């Protein structure tokens, strides 16, 4: 459904010889709009996007971001529900505050700010009102999908600009494959 | 005499059974290797009225005693009296705000302070130069100052009334005893010395807080990365910084968790994670008492990190902080109007910040 | 009787020659602390008046030592040797206290149970020591049986004489071997050294003072005072960090940690490390926590979660007991060399000498 593979490789593949490895945190609500992406059994080996489903964006602890970089990610994305849409009512606000200050702190410590992004998802109001995800997926996707794809593409290219994650974390064993 | 007044008040409190424990600064004398008499200040726990004669208050009383309020053995006491300078009382306020102690369970003996000595060879502690609370704002008993105001202006080694070299034990610097000769080298030693900044970095310990933040702002992202890599390669994970902090009171610290393990042990990577996460956990809570930097055996600039964190929170959210207000990270109006998207960077990064921010370092 | 000496200039010339074949480790003065480090030129050496802030221990018992690496394929696990570097090296400028600490470490790591990593490092090292001319502010080595110019575990001993000269003492066969290779850099003459360095005033005072405490008295008192209110008083202000233990040249307690350090798509790989641990830490004697406890992962962890040393005073007592009683019982040696680093680095000013003096007084009082 969501052509994530294509996005990662499409426009920019010709220009560079490495693929930025992205980790995307999706809250449960966001995940309804791209069930395809969640099918990580297929994606984890082929694609360079790893998705992690969390119950709410507020669950995303800053240590997760550090851990992602430690394990080889070049960029981290966190998607949260837009204002007032959070099913836990204030989880997205938690995320907003925490992650905004954490990102600036990481910048201060020498991380490139282009590697960490967070964004509101396309609004899921429709999906929620319908009561179940399935019939509304295409509907909300068609309304927000193009925006979504563009957003991810934009973010991936920013991460690519920043380059492969540098020797900030000197692992003993070199990165294998790119 | 200030000390006599202090001792009288403490004795009264204990005699009248208002408190069962007084935590204060104790003065002891010890003969050093060169036969000189050394004055030692160290925390003292008094439960009997006769023991108050060791209590003292002078410019060497640098410890933040509120760190003892989070311990189980101390909390078990019904009511405690605590000696606290203005900066220490800030930590107590945060503890009260976070429901770790009750205001009524505490008798705060406030100390009017005009500066304490951090590292005796460098004059007053850096935090004293930007002190807002020379007279404590919250207290039950007020003790006047014994310090001389004018010395705050120019840092210089204090003349000791006791003779000798005037060095005071109990105010450890964690540094070597002797003047060091030979070329200075950085901790990592892998050739990653930054020539351009090394002169300033060598004097990091003595720099003013605002100057340090300025220096970091002027560095590029890569230079900052190298700086912190160098610094944290020296960290030995002794956890002195965490254990001395009054606000690190988690019963199980994330750094100690091993299943699952979030923070690696025994590597630069783990050191980075530990300090970044600790700083983040102190966002809007740290009161800049400076203890973490003072106790670090390796001389890491931890105050710099914590001070920057406070600045970040202030610049991004301008929160209200204080006793009567909900803690910052718990407080979020529905319509705060701030988008969840990329925040402007407050580090002047010439190469990539698209929008130039004109917000400089505020003094 | 031959007197050997070497001038600083000769040493300066010798170093590049040595660097072609050995690693050289010497004290350097960092930004705010001094420590031992591998050097690449004579200029990097810091000629300190006293010992370094960080001890020499890390070169024999690294703070983070790889034991093995493991790799999993399907259900099989493969182990491999870690990538450790045990090149031959020369430690230049070790102080008597740091070198004497190795005797303590040897007892633990290379007597009955031989620790391969430690012994490899120990065997590959040539120690060139430097005797102390002045005591440090916090030194008390004489009270634990160490002398400021003793040559325990050294191969060659240097003594400062005058500005530019070192008196050279060959202590071990290894040292004599080394000397025979590089004798052209040294000066030799017959007869006693007429210019033996005069003892500095500070050192004379230090050596003349009465011993601050008698370790036999300490041991006797510790044998009979396991439970005593003294411990709570002494440890009341201890915050339970590891500064004193990590900076102690004789402290050697360790922990193991398994780290997964590779990237997901390269196959699962991990590393087992031995890291420094401290008896002051709350979790030091914590047994693993049972499946339903906090921090556990389902049925993987199962244990009692028992913790005997519940309060800081018990942990503090353990530290003193280990150094001055248990180690003596097991190995007939005090596990302390009197360098005084613990006294200078303690965040809250706990003084080991004060503790021991108090024990001394208590012993004679009752």
**Predicted confidence (pLDDT) per residue in B131-141, tens digit:** 778 888 889 99
Helix (H) or strand (E) segment spanning residue A139: helix A133-162
Q: What is the pTM of this model?
A: 0.85
Angle between helices B268-281 and B302-317 (to 10 degrees): 50
Calculate mean pLDDT across residues C27-55. Answer: 89
Task: State the residue for tokens 């193009």.
Answer: A146
User: Would you state the pLDDT for residue B4?
Assistant: 85
> In this predicted model, what pLDDT tens digit does every residue of B20-41 receive, in sequence order?
999 999 988 877 777 777 888 8
Longest alpha-carbon distance in chain C: 76
Using a CB-CB cut-off of 8 Å, the residues of chain B touching A79 are: none
C261 touches chain A (CB under 8 A): yes
CB-based contact A118 B312, cutoff 8 Å = no
A172 touches chain C (CB under 8 A): yes
d(Cα A107, Cα A88) in Å, to the nearest integer? Answer: 30
> Which two tokens mark A51?
């998705």
d(Cα C95, Cα C51) in Å, to the nearest integer? Answer: 6
Calculate mean pLDDT across residues C131-139. Answer: 88
C 186-215: CB under 8 A from B: 202, 205-206, 209
Reported as a pLDDT band with limits 50, 70 and 90, residue B306 is very high
- pLDDT above 70 covers a percentage of chain C that reads 91
User: Would you state the pLDDT for residue C194?
Assistant: 59
Secondary structure class of C195 (helix, strand, coil): coil
Cβ B222 vs Cβ B256: under 8 Å: no
- Torsion angle of alpha carbons A120, A124, A125, A126, nearest 10°? 150
Using a CB-CB cut-off of 8 Å, the residues of chain A touching B361 are: none
Which candidate in C264, C268, C271 is best for mutational testing of the A interface (most A CBs within 10 A)?
C264
Dihedral sign (CA B105, B109, B115, B121): negative
User: Would you state the pLDDT for residue A12?
Assistant: 41
pLDDT of C115 higher than 50: yes
Task: State the residue for tokens 């007197």.
Answer: C3
Secondary structure class of C42 (helix, strand, coil): helix
A158 touches chain B (CB under 8 A): no
Using a CB-CB cut-off of 8 Å, the residues of chain A touching B223 are: 110
Reported as a pLDDT band with limits 50, 70 and 90, residue C86 is confident
Calculate mean pLDDT across residues C297-312. Answer: 70
Question: How many residues are given for chain B?
Answer: 363
Using a CB-CB cut-off of 8 Å, the residues of chain C touching B184 are: 29-31
Calculate mean pLDDT across residues C61-82. Answer: 84
CB-based contact C269 A173, cutoff 8 Å = yes
- Torsion angle of alpha carbons C256, C257, C262, C267, nearest 10°? 80
pLDDT of C101 higher than 70: yes
In sequence order, the 6+-apart residues with CB closer than 8 A to the CB of A50 are A21, A22, A23, A24, A40, A43, A44, A73, C264
Question: Which of C33, C45, C349 is closest, CB to CB, to B182?
Answer: C45
> In this predicted model, what pLDDT tens digit does every residue of C178-237 receive, in sequence order?
999 998 998 887 766 555 667 777 888 888 776 778 889 999 999 999 999 999 988 999
Question: How many residues are given for chain C?
Answer: 366
pLDDT of C130 higher than 80: yes
Using a CB-CB cut-off of 8 Å, the residues of chain B touching A160 are: none
Reported as a pLDDT band with limits 50, 70 and 90, residue C176 is very high
A176 touches chain C (CB under 8 A): yes
CB-based contact C264 A177, cutoff 8 Å = no
Cβ B205 vs Cβ B290: under 8 Å: no
> In this predicted model, what pLDDT tens digit does every residue of B73-126 receive, in sequence order?
888 998 999 999 999 998 999 999 888 999 999 999 999 988 888 655 567 787
d(Cα C329, Cα B211) in Å, to the nearest integer? Answer: 54
B176 touches chain C (CB under 8 A): yes
CB-based contact B225 A111, cutoff 8 Å = yes
Task: State the residue for tokens 């590597």.
Answer: B267
Q: Got the DSSP string for B7-35?
A: HHHHHHHHHTTS-SEEEEEEEEEEE-TTS
Using a CB-CB cut-off of 8 Å, the residues of chain A touching C261 are: 171-173
CB-based contact B343 A103, cutoff 8 Å = yes
User: In chain B, which ranges are continuous DSSP H helix?
Assistant: 2-15, 72-75, 86-97, 195-202, 209-218, 221-232, 240-244, 268-281, 291-295, 302-317
Positions of chain A with pLDDT under 70? 1-17, 31-47, 83, 122-149, 167-178
Cβ B137 vs Cβ B363: under 8 Å: no
> In this predicted model, what pLDDT tens digit does every residue of C226-276 receive, in sequence order?
999 999 988 999 999 999 999 999 999 999 988 876 544 444 578 888 999
Using a CB-CB cut-off of 8 Å, the residues of chain B touching C138 are: 33, 169, 177
Q: Which chains touch B (3 or more CB pairs under 8 A)?
A: A, C
Check residue C320 and report its DSSP letter: H
User: Would you state the pLDDT for residue A149?
Assistant: 67
Choice among A89-98, B151-160, B187-196, B240-249 with the minimum mean pLDDT = B151-160
- pLDDT above 90 covers a percentage of chain B that reads 31
pLDDT of C318 higher than 90: yes
pLDDT of B49 higher than 50: yes
Q: Got the DSSP string for C59-94?
A: GTS-SEEEEEEEEEETTEEEEE--------EEEEEE
Task: State the residue for tokens 């102190």.
Answer: B282
Choice among C267-276, C290-299, C346-355 with the minimum mean pLDDT = C290-299
d(Cα B153, Cα B157) in Å, to the nearest integer? Answer: 13
> In this predicted model, what pLDDT tens digit does every residue of B193-245 receive, in sequence order?
567 777 777 777 777 777 888 888 888 888 898 899 889 988 999 999 999 99
Which candidate in B218, B262, B335, B340 is best for mutational testing of the A interface (most A CBs within 10 A)?
B340
CB-based contact B316 A101, cutoff 8 Å = yes
């Amino acid at each position: 459904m969501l052509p994530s593979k294509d996005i990662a490789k499409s426009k920019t593949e010709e220009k560079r010889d490495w693929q930025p490895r992205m980790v995307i945190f999706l809250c449960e609500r966001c995940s309804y709009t791209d069930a395809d992406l969640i099918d990580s059994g297929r994606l984890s080996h082929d694609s360079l996007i790893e998705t992690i489903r969390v119950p709410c964006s507020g669950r995303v602890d800053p240590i997760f971001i550090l851990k992602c970089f430690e394990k080889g990610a070049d960029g981290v994305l966190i998607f949260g529900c837009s204002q007032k849409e959070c099913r836990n009512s204030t989880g997205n606000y938690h995320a907003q505050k925490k992650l905004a200050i954490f990102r600036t702190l990481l910048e201060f410590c020498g991380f490139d700010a282009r590697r960490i992004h967070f964004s509101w998802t396309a609004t899921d109001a429709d999906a929620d009102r319908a009561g179940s995800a399935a019939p509304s997926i295409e509907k909300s996707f068609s309304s927000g999908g193009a925006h979504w794809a563009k957003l991810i593409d934009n973010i991936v290219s920013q991460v690519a600009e920043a380059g492969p994650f540098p020797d900030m974390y000197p692992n003993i064993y070199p990165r294998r494959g790119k | 005499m200030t000390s006599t007044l202090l001792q009288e008040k403490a004795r009264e409190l204990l005699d009248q059974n208002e408190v069962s424990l007084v935590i204060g600064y104790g003065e002891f004398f010890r003969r050093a290797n060169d036969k000189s008499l050394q004055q030692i200040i160290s925390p003292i726990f008094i439960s009997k009225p006769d023991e108050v004669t060791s209590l003292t208050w002078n410019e060497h009383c640098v410890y933040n005693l509120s760190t003892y309020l989070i311990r189980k053995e101390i909390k078990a006491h019904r009511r405690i009296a605590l000696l606290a300078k203005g900066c220490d009382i800030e930590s107590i306020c945060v503890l009260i705000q976070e429901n770790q102690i009750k205001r009524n369970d505490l008798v705060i003996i406030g100390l009017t302070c005009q500066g304490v000595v951090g590292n005796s060879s460098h004059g007053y502690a850096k935090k004293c130069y930007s002190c807002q609370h020379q007279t404590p704002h919250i207290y039950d008993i007020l003790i006047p100052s014994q310090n001389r105001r004018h010395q705050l202006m120019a840092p210089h080694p204090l003349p000791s009334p006791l003779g000798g070299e005037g060095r005071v034990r109990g105010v450890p610097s964690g540094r070597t005893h002797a003047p060091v000769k030979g070329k200075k080298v950085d901790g990592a030693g892998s050739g990653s010395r930054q020539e351009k900044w090394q002169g300033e970095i060598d004097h990091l310990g003595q720099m003013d807080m605002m100057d340090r933040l300025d220096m970091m702002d002027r560095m590029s992202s890569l230079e900052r990365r190298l700086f912190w890599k160098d610094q944290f390669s020296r960290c030995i994970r002794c956890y002195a910084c965490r254990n001395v902090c009054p606000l690190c009171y988690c019963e199980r610290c994330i750094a100690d968790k091993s299943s699952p393990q979030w923070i690696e042990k025994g590597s630069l990577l783990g050191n980075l994670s530990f300090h970044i996460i600790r700083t983040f956990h102190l966002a809007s809570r740290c009161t800049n008492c400076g203890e973490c930097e003072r106790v670090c055996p390796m001389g890491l600039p931890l105050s710099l990190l914590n001070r920057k964190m406070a600045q970040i929170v202030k610049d991004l959210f301008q929160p209200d902080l204080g006793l009567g207000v909900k803690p910052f990270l718990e407080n979020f109006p529905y319509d705060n109007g701030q988008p969840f998207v990329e925040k402007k960077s407050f580090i002047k990064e010439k190469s990539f910040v698209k929008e130039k921010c004109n917000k400089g370092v505020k003094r | 009787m031959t007197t050997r000496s070497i001038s600083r200039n000769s040493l300066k010339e010798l170093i590049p020659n040595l660097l072609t074949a050995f690693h050289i480790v010497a004290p350097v003065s960092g930004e705010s602390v001094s420590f031992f480090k591998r050097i690449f030129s004579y200029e990097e050496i810091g000629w300190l008046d006293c010992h370094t802030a960080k001890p020499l221990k890390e070169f024999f018992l690294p703070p983070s030592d790889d034991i093995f690496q493991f790799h999993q394929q399907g259900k099989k696990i493969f182990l491999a040797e870690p990538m450790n570097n045990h090149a031959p090296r020369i430690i230049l400028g070790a102080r008597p206290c740091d070198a004497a600490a190795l005797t303590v470490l040897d007892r633990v790591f290379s007597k009955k149970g031989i620790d391969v990593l430690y012994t490899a490092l120990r065997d590959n090292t040539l120690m060139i020591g430097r005797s102390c001319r002045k005591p440090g502010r916090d030194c008390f080595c004489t009270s634990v049986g160490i002398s400021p110019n003793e040559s325990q575990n050294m191969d060659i001993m240097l003594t400062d004489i005058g500005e530019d000269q070192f008196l050279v003492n060959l202590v071990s066969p290894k040292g004599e071997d080394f000397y025979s290779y590089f004798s052209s850099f040294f000066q030799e003459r017959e007869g006693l050294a007429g210019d033996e360095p005069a003892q500095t005033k500070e050192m004379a005072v230090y050596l003349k003072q009465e011993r601050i405490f008698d370790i036999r008295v300490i041991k006797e008192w510790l044998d009979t005072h396991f439970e005593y209110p003294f411990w709570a008083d002494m440890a009341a202000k201890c915050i339970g960090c590891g500064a004193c233990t990590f900076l102690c040249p004789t402290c050697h307690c360790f922990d193991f940690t398994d780290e997964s350090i590779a990237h997901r798509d390269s196959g699962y790989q991990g590393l087992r490390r031995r890291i420094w641990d401290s008896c002051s830490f709350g979790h030091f004697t914590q047994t693993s926590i049972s499946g339903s406890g906090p921090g556990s992962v389902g049925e993987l962890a199962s244990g009692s979660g028992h913790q005997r040393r519940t309060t800081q005073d018990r942990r503090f007592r353990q530290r003193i007991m280990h150094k001055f009683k248990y180690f003596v019982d097991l190995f007939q040696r005090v596990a302390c060399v009197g360098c005084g680093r613990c006294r200078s680095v303690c965040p809250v000013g706990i003084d080991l000498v004060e503790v021991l003096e108090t024990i001394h007084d208590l012993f004679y009082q009752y």
